[in-house]
Structure 1
Amino acid sequence: MSDKKKTVSSESAILSSVQNPRVKQWTELLSRKGRDKQGRFLIEGVHLVQEALRSVDLVPEVLVYASDKKQAIAGLLEDAVTKGVECVPVTEAVLAKCTDTETPQPVFAVVPKLPWRGSDLLAASEPNGLVVVIDGIQDPGNLGTIIRSADAVGASGVLLGKGTVDLYNPKTVRSTMGSLFHLPIVQGDLTEWLPRAAESGVQVVATSLQGAVSCYEHDFRKSTWFVIGNEGQGVSEEVRQLARHQVLIPMKGCAESLNAAMAATVVLFEAMRQRGL
């Protein structure tokens, strides 16, 4: 992007054709293949765009808005122009073509993928960091909720292992409610990064139903990487072998188990409570 600040496009430049090359490029971002190809993703709606504009590390490359809603989002457009973001007015037809929701939001933005690496999580783990490790979560809503909970407790970051649903899936992005802009989120091989974390003095903790202690009895005040597993199978055996500590969530009622996102949230808030935050 040029250092020269861009301005809001004039009304005479309203983009109306769904066959326009830029529209086709934006539409590609609705698929994982397109996101991987371009190294970008879409965020939809006023709230997510506001969160992105507040981000230090991830300023949107372009903001696209409904030309007839310009007055309603005037403040948002002013913030975008201040940040040097190109703002493009389009028709409702173009918005509908480029967005994932049934009722298109008045604005969406194109954002570069997160820049974080595993080494950033190791650095954030000192001296008593808290990293959430995702082992094969498949539901985009669950992943988004876990990221939101990690943000809520002040976690140091999130590590997404292989087999986990795409972070940039539109449903995942919406479920984070903007939290993906608040903390480092890294995609990596857990068999590489969990041993590296343990070697650096981090305690690796996984949820389990066997040989585990109550999450309320385990000491989470130390630097911790907490692993939450797949909705149906839990933490994979390969990853479980890399976790020195196993915890469970005691339950008084008759439910057999908790939703993965709920389970992660319970443990994360217990960790926060122990840390006196």
Structure 2
Amino acid sequence: MIHDSVITSVHNARVKAWTQLLEKKGRDKQGQFVIEGVHLVQEAMAATVPIETIVYSEERVHLLPKELLEQAHEQGIECIAVTEQVLGKCTDTQSPQALLAVLPKLAWQAEQLLDTGEGPGLVVVIDGIQDPGNLGTIIRSADAVGATGVLLGRGTVDLYNPKTVRSTMGSLFHLPIAQGELLEALPQAAAQGVAIVTTSLQGSTSCYNYDFTQDVWFVIGNEGQGVSQAVAGLATQHVLIPMRGQAESLNAAMAATVVLFEAMRQRGV
């Protein structure tokens, strides 16, 4: 077993810096974010994301996969053992997992989402989603159907919010996720022949009748207000999700998932 340095004080300068990453202001200032738990750390390592530091509980190191820390050392990742008190200070969960990692923010740009490589693109566009769990779920669904990317518009909850990161279950490392101004990005995409599609209760076409085999940027709106008026005005198609029961509408993440899986079905599972 490799023995790393141990931090025991919550007043340590490194600990204070990690604690600041729990808030958006701190994440923006440092250009970093935190992931917690073995699964997320393994997903990041498998995706060759440049992890800067792994912080783990000295008391619970025996519970961690032995190969995880060994692989981290081989990759030159800084590993630091801490006390349970220090670990708790650096997370926002009541029962912290045995390790966390500090990573630089993802470097994807909105322009890169137009370069889909082979085949038609399927980009999921987020217009003002506020709930971190919803955003994480949508990213997981986008990953599950093989979407080519995700674009986060202004007013959307921070991608690096700890709750969002946990909700993605590692999917944020599997596909490009960029942030950009939708009023600029959507017209650029449309100018290159991309269909801009939103869902609407007033939509005239069922999502099951719309052709998702073409290049599509699918826009998902805010939980309460839906797609903003300005963004809706840029859409080339408004589709409807048919419902047989008495529910008026679906949760934003559920609606997104329904449409995305229909797009996957049409493109060939």
Report the TM-score when normalising by structure 2.
0.97
Q: Size of the alignment, in residue pairs?
A: 268
Q: Aligned to 2:236, which of 231, 244, 248?
A: 244
Pairing 1:112–2:104 present: yes
User: How do 1:149-168 and structure 2 match up within 5 A?
Assistant: 149-168=141-160
SS in 2 for 1:68: coil
Q: How does 1:154-193 map to 2 (within 5 A)?
A: 154-193=146-185
1:255 & 1:23 partners in 2: Cα distance?
48
Residue 62 of structure 2 corresponds to 71
Query: Is the CA contact (8 Å cut-off) linking 2:187 and 2:234 kept in structure 1?
Result: yes
Q: Paired residue for 1:200, among 188, 192, 198?
A: 192
Tell me which amino acid in the other structure corresponds to 2:229.
E
Alignment match of 1:61 (pick from 43, 52, 56)? 52
Distance 1:96 1:194 in 2: 42
For 2:59, give the aligned amino acid. Answer: D
Q: Hey, what's the Cα distance between the residues in 2 that align with 1:68 and 1:186?
A: 38
Provide the alpha-carbon RMSD of the alignment: 1.2
Shift of 1:72: 2.1
- Residue-by-residue CA offset, 1:105-154 (whole Å, 9 max, x unaligned): 10000010001001110112764010000000000000000000000000
1:196-231 deviations in Å (ceiling 9; x for gaps): 001111111011122431000000000100001000
Q: Structure 1 pair 21/246, CA: closer, same or farther in 2 (3 Å)?
A: same
> Hey, what does 1:3 align to over in structure 2?
none
Structure 2: distance between partners of 1:229 and 1:102: 31
Structure-2 residue corresponding to 1:4 = none
Pick aligned residue for 2:249 from 236, 243, 257: 257
1:186 CA displacement:
0.5
Deviation at 1:21, TM superposition (A): 0.3
Normalising by the residue count of structure 1, what TM-score does the alignment of the two structures yield?
A: 0.94
8 Å CA contact 2:203–2:240 kept in 1: the answer is no
Identity %: 66
- Paired position in structure 1 for 2:138: 146
Letter paired with 2:102: V
User: Structure 2 CA distance, aligned partners of 1:147 and 1:240?
Assistant: 21
Structure 1: gaps spanning 5 or more residues: 1-6
**CA distances 1:163-196 after superposition (whole Å, capped 9, x unpaired):** 0000000000000000000000001100000000
Contact persistence 1:8–1:86 (CA under 8 A) = no
Q: 2:11 aligns with which of 19, 23, 26?
A: 19
Q: Distance in 1 between matches of 2:3 and 2:226?
A: 50
Moved over 4 A (4+): none
Structure 1 residue 248: Cα displacement: 1.1
Q: Runs of 5+ in structure 2 lacking a partner?
A: none
> What amino acid is aligned across from residue 201 of structure 1 in structure 2?
G
* Structure 1 counterpart of 2:31: 39
TM-superposition CA deviations, 1:45-84 (whole Å, max 9, x none): 111111111113x221000000122222122111211221
